[in-house]
Amino acid sequence: MNPGDIIGHRYRIIRSLGEGGMATVYLAHDLVLDRDVSVKLLRLDLRDDPDTKRRFHREALAATQLNDPHIVGVYDVGEDEGLQYMVMQYVQGTDLKAFIKEHYPIPLPQVVDIMKQVLSAVETAHAHGIIHRDLKPQNILIDANKNIKITDFGIAVATSQNSLTQTNTLMGSVHYLSPEQARGSVATKQSDIYSLGIILYELLTGTVPFEGETAVSIALKHFREDIPSVRTVNSNIPQALENVVLKATAKSPHERYANVREMAEDLSTSLDADRANEEKWHVQCDDGKTKVLSAAEISKQIKEADEQEKAANEGADDQEKDVEPKKRHRYLPYWLSGVAAVLVIGIAFTTWWFMFRQVIVPDVEGKTPIQAERILSKQGLRVGNITRVNSEQVAKNHIISTTPDTSSKKQVNGTVDLRVSTGVKNMSMADYVGDDYYSVSSSLRQKGFVVQKQEVYSDKIDKGTIIKQNYSKGKTVATNGDTINFKVSAGKENIKIPNFRNQDISVVQKFANEHKLQLTTQEKKSKTVATNHVISQTPKAGETLNHGDTLTVTLANSGNQTKTTNIQVNIPFDGNGGKRENRVQIYIKDANHNLTMEYQDITINQETTINVPFTLKNGQMGAYRVVRNGRTIMSGTNITG
């Protein structure tokens, strides 16, 4: 679809918002209700696929059943020339994945507030018997006021329709997939709770708990490995809040929260002072792991077997008098004792080797504490004390060094202490004006700074480019208190053109002046439209222009002959006193204007040439006047066709 195309005789496409696995989402304008909406359009290559069409309809059905302030509303569903579409509420903002990337670390009260909104939406879905099955930050939208809305019920399923789940088919994003889904089992409400726990983990740490080279390797980790501790990343996270993550992501669905409301209630008090000394949550039931007996227990069991053997021999038939058999029975217990001794020694040696062997400390410098924990665990080591210090060379939350250092030996199950960077303490501010905001902000955040942006429209500066910064070049800034603010270009502003039909030319001129548009007029005799009122316009109503573009209108006249002529006016730039910009106003006199009516108001930063159109009646002469920074600098009269 291209900008300007209309779907369903009602929704005009503005631009693409993104593309997913089965559909493309566009920003559109509802011409009937005069509001912006998002339109999800089934991809052309999938419109004949019955499974995809079924999922698309299921999403629409699921979403229309739900009425919650934190779920994206569905307004309309239809089909246009074989293309299936769904019209939804437009949320101006970003998804939670991008929000985490841009704003991490997020204050803990804000994390709790975000999760409570997400839980509220999921609770509503569960109350209607709908399991989302693909909960992830990419499907959660957040606006400028931190309001949350969940979208994309493309693989949601009603609890009464479990047959739609196919065994051995992994649906949803693997980083947030529950262990039972990874095994190909039917998704339940507890599967959504597991995904919610992973989302909370990412809000607290900025990363997902499991990474891997393939989707299969990540899925395996979900039901084989324990969730890493969030307090390893940030020791300020209360144990009560970490416990919410641990319980929500328990391997067995039966160990998780019974429902979403229970999780929300636990989360809402996790920052309370009376839970400050809460112990770490553990699974209470028998985990079914293999039990290892000590050497003493094994020796005891063998000795008991010896005594039973001896008792059996003494109870043998008294009539048996054969000497040799008795001799063999007499020495059998001693033989078994020897075997037991060998076993005890072997087990003791093996136990000693496993418990006291030395391993080489792996290189984890430059890694995050979570990554280091995984690498160390593979060598049978654990993370010890974490010391956080400033560093100009190592990015924030990355390891500077270890104790003992790399390649040293450490006893198995021993601890390795980490020195972790908190970023630079102080830095001399550079001049970032003209640089790309996203690369600059990423670099500064790695150093530990809090970075914020304010977007403003600009006709001359590319989108995403820094226009202004709150600290000047050379200013010393500190990570422990200074926030760096950037004013960033949002690119050219799209100016929506209204319907000027039957409007007086003065209304059109005022709109053009306010939005810095070039206005061109032409006339046409009309018996139905009043003189100097608009018959037609280019572009049409609802379309958009940018500053400096031309708006053309055709005006009605009473039949008097007129003609249009254009002149070029060269406006010099005044740079005295270090001026960077000049404000210029142009006044014209023709059939539609007089010299008291402002024709155009522009801002220039260099010598500029503009075209000025004059509509003149027979025998009429035009005139113009140019005002720069409040002073008239040029004028012209006796302008004819």
CB proximity list for 220: less than 8 A, separation 6 or greater = 182, 212
pLDDT digits (tens, 9 = 90+) for 488-545: 998 888 899 999 999 998 899 889 888 888 888 888 888 888 888 999 999 999 999 9
Decide if 17 contacts 37 (C-beta within 8 A). Answer: no
Please compute, for residue 456, the number of CA atoms within 13 A of its CA located in the half-sphere on the CB side.
10
pLDDT of residue 549: 84
pLDDT digits (tens, 9 = 90+) for 261-292: 999 999 999 999 899 889 999 876 544 443 34
pLDDT of residue 546: 87
pLDDT of residue 297: 46
The overall average pLDDT reported for the chain is 81
pLDDT of residue 59: 60
Q: Give the residue numbers marked as catalytic.
A: 134
DSSP conformational letter for 465: B
Task: Report the alpha-carbon distance of residue 253 to residue 242 in Å, rounded.
Answer: 18
Residues 321/323/326/328 CA torsion (nearest 10 deg): -150
pLDDT of residue 264: 94
Answer whether residue 117 shows pLDDT above 60.
yes
pLDDT of residue 296: 47
pLDDT digits (tens, 9 = 90+) for 601-624: 899 999 998 888 888 877 788 999
pLDDT digits (tens, 9 = 90+) for 446-492: 777 889 999 998 888 889 999 999 998 888 887 766 789 999 998 88
At position 486, the amino acid (one-letter code) is F
Query: What's the rounded mean pLDDT across residues 240-259?
Result: 94
pLDDT of residue 631: 93
pLDDT of residue 63: 60
- HEC string of 199-245 equals HHHHHHHCCCCCCCCCHHHHHHHHHHCCCCCHHHHCCCCCHHHHHHH
Decide if 38 contacts 74 (C-beta within 8 A). Answer: no
Answer whether residue 326 shows pLDDT above 90.
no
Decide if 265 contacts 284 (C-beta within 8 A). Answer: no
Query: What's the rounded mean pLDDT across residues 332-350?
Result: 58
Backbone angles phi, psi at 10, to 5 degrees: -150, -35
Give the burial string for 502-523 (b: 16+ CB within 10 Å, else e): ebbbeebbebbbebbbbbbbeb
Domains and CATH numbers, the chain: 6-89 (3.30.200.20), 96-147+163-275 (1.10.510.10), 295-313+323-356 (no CATH), 359-421 (3.30.10.20), 426-489 (3.30.10.20), 497-639 (2.60.40.2560)
Answer whether residue 258 shows pLDDT above 90.
yes
pLDDT of residue 512: 86
Assigned token pair, 555: 């005006």
Question: What is the residue whose two structure tokens read 């502003």?
Answer: 493
Answer whether residue 27 shows pLDDT above 50.
yes
Strands 35-42 and 23-30: antiparallel
pLDDT of residue 181: 82
pLDDT of residue 201: 96
At position 373, the amino acid (one-letter code) is E
Task: Report the alpha-carbon distance of residue 371 to residue 206 in Å, rounded.
Answer: 13
Answer whether residue 62 shows pLDDT above 50.
yes
Answer whether residue 564 shows pLDDT above 80.
no
The H-assigned helical ranges of 44-188 are 50-64, 96-103, 108-127, 179-182
Task: Report the alpha-carbon distance of residue 353 to residue 350 in Å, rounded.
Answer: 5
Decide if 207 contacts 370 (C-beta within 8 A). Answer: yes
pLDDT digits (tens, 9 = 90+) for 400-452: 899 988 778 887 778 888 888 877 777 888 999 999 998 899 888 877 788 99
